[in-house]
């Protein structure tokens, strides 16, 4: 809802969601000011919720803080949420809010329509919703105590200068680092007021979701050992989407690949990576191994496939097959961090094959 619509609207709403143009696009700055956020709040019912996009990767850090200060001035009950990227969402409640019950929360996942939508965007279980939390109003106050808000009278608090990617990354990482993020969640007055009492905010499972968010963020920003990342998701979570993401796939690609595979006796090579990713997302290790073995038999087998199949053999207890595979391909394997991780985590291969690797 834009400024004109907000001013013209007579009714009040339960939810207003703002997804405006980026703040530095010409003419967009006034959609990020304290006055506009106050206007949004004036159009909400009691305990109504407003959400608003905050792309910190398109702002200098102090500019992002100026918008946060403006939003919090308009919404005393403010918080910030985000997945594993720098596209954050500010949320304001027009009132104190109320505690949701676990049954209410789970209903969104039990309903076929909303459940499918949530899983498609990677929020697969209710606890994962908590791991989107970044900061509450107290934290906004702490980091913006010396920052003036962005206002209609002072639009130049958003400059025309370029943003600093490294500074934005350091700022974001402060809130993605899992141990500190868990503590902020567990000790947030807002979370203690609205989060279901039966979903313990300090539970180990919730911490694992914060760890997964941190890992996905770092993977996208600075890169990662994809094999180690896959191992984290396979053995320490029940989630499907992170596995698909680390293997370069997604639910739509897997669905298309499976449809193509059903229509042919031998699946085309083009869909094999997505079929394999889908099998691993379902924790069907045997099927993933068979698909990789099929690729090997058809002559499409690079170093990454060697590492992945060796890892899956070890995971499945077929250590002799892993040793044979690595020995047969030792000449094409170069020592790097993938190899080091595999040796460290599959000791039988390490002990017998490492001398062959240059």
pLDDT score of 209 = 93
Copy the structure tokens of residue 271.
């869909």
Q: Is the pLDDT of residue 75 over 80?
A: yes
The dihedral over CA atoms of 54, 58, 63, 66, expressed in degrees to the nearest 10, equals: -10
pLDDT of 343 > 80? The answer is no
Mean pLDDT of 208-230: 91
Question: pLDDT tens, 270-287?
Answer: 999 999 999 999 999 999
Q: Are 230 and 172 in contact (CB under 8 A)?
A: no
Percent of the chain past pLDDT 90, that is, above it, reads: 68
Read off the pLDDT band of 349 (50, 70, 90): very low
Q: What is the C-alpha to C-alpha distance for residues 275 and 291, in angstroms, rounded to an integer?
A: 8
204, pLDDT greater than 50: yes
Among 12-16, 119-123, 174-178, whose mean pLDDT is lowest?
119-123
What mean pLDDT do residues 313-335 have?
Answer: 82
Q: Residue 7: pLDDT band by 50, 70, 90 thresholds?
A: low
CATH of domain 3-218: 3.40.50
Once rounded to an integer, what is the mean pLDDT over residues 67-84? 97
* Residue 351 binned pLDDT confidence (cut-offs 50, 70, 90): very low
Residue tagged 């703002």 (tokens)? 18
Mean residue pLDDT across the chain: 89
Q: What is the pLDDT of residue 350?
A: 42
How much is the pTM? 0.87
Q: Where are the domains of the chain?
A: 3-218, 226-356
pLDDT digits (tens, 9 = 90+) for 27-65: 999 999 999 999 999 999 999 999 999 999 999 999 999
How many Å apart are CA 104 and CA 266, to the nearest integer?
Answer: 45
C-alpha to C-alpha distances, 250 to 52, 241, 281, 348, 355, nearest whole angstrom: 26, 7, 10, 33, 38
Question: What is the per-residue pLDDT across 119-156, written as a single tens digit (0 to 9) for each?
Answer: 988 999 998 999 999 999 999 999 999 999 999 999 99
More confident residue, 222 or 37: 37
CA–CA distances in Å: residue 98 to residues 51, 74, 91, 205, 250: 17, 19, 14, 24, 35
Distance CA 311, CA 56 (A): 37
């Amino acid at each position: 809802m834009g400024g004109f619509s907000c001013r013209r609207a007579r009714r009040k709403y339960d939810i207003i969601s703002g997804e405006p143009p980026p703040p530095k696009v010409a003419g967009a700055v006034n959609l990020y000011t304290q006055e506009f956020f106050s206007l949004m709040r004036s159009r909400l019912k009691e305990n109504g919720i407003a959400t608003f996009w905050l792309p910190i990767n398109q702002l200098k850090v102090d500019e992002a803080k100026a918008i946060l200060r403006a939003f919090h001035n308009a919404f005393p009950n403010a918080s910030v949420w985000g997945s594993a990227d720098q596209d954050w969402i500010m949320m304001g409640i027009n009132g104190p809010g109320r505690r949701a019950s676990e049954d209410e929360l789970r209903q969104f996942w039990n309903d076929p329509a909303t459940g499918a939508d949530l899983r498609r965007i990677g929020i697969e279980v209710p606890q994962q919703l908590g791991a989107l939390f970044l900061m509450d109003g107290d934290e906004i106050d702490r980091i913006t105590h010396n920052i003036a808000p962005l206002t209609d009278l002072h639009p130049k608090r958003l400059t025309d200068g370029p943003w600093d990617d490294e500074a934005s990354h350091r700022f974001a990482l402060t809130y993605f680092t899992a141990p500190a993020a868990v503590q902020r969640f567990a000790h947030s007055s807002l979370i203690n007021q609205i989060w279901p009492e039966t979903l313990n905010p300090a539970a180990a499972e919730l911490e694992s979701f914060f760890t997964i968010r941190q890992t996905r963020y770092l993977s996208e920003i600075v890169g990662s050992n994809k094999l180690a990342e896959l191992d984290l998701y396979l053995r320490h979570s029940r989630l499907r989407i992170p596995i698909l993401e680390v293997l370069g796939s997604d639910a739509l690609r897997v669905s298309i690949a499976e449809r193509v595979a059903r229509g042919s006796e031998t699946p085309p090579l083009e869909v094999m990576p997505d079929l394999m990713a889908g099998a691993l997302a379902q924790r069907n290790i045997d099927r993933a191994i068979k698909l990789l073995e099929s690729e090997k038999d058809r002559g499409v087998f690079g170093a990454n496939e060697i590492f992945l199949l060796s890892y899956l053999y070890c995971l499945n207890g077929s250590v002799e097959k892993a040793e044979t595979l690595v020995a047969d391909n030792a000449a094409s394997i170069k020592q790097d961090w993938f190899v080091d991780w595999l040796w460290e985590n599959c000791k039988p291969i390490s002990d017998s094959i490492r001398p062959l690797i240059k």
